[in-house]
Amino acid sequence: MAILSSSVKSYIAGFLDGDGCIMYQLIHRKDYRNGYQIRASIVFYQHTDKREFLEWLHQLFGVGYVRNRGDNVSEYTIVGLEPVIKILKVLKPYVRLKREHIKLALEINKILSKSYAIQRFIKAAELVDKFAILNYSKKRTNTSEKFKSYLRQHKLYPRND
């Protein structure tokens, strides 16, 4: 990641507040030991006419990808716990509207950085559910309850809590 001045950090944070999204999702993965992963992502949106701005962000952060969606909107997407947390820490002092998102993301990261033991992963999954509220998500189907049900069904977590 490039070294950013405070004015550039502030500008990017404002862009994230207005035309960006911080997402944490539970993703069902058959090839994972516990059947799920927690996916972290940051997405910046812009009209395709202004795609060069997203390319500039991509160049600054050095991670992720830019794509055109087909509805005259382009997206710059960063996926992965490590790069997302790194960027959120840089922007944290400057973000206003998404402060709760960042606080929650850092809390999830703190839990997962200590271990991926099943109890810690369940706690992190429960926090991921809160992103549905913060992001006004109506379509989220993978929840911590669904995850716990999967674990019980596969005898990976037999308790009913």
Asked if residue 154 has pLDDT above 90, the reply is no
* Residues annotated as part of the active site: 18-19
Q: Is the separation of the CB atoms in 86 and 1 below 8 Å?
A: yes
pLDDT in tens, 56-112: 999 999 999 999 998 999 999 999 999 999 999 999 999 999 999 999 999 999 999
pTM: 0.89
Q: Hunting for tokens 């960063």 — which residue is that? A: 78
What pLDDT digit, counting tens, does each position of 7-18 carry?
999 999 999 999
**CATH number of this structure's domain 6-153:** 3.10.28.10
Q: Could you state, in order of their start, the residue ranges of all structural domains in the chain? A: 6-153
Q: Which residue has the higher pLDDT, 154 or 11?
A: 11
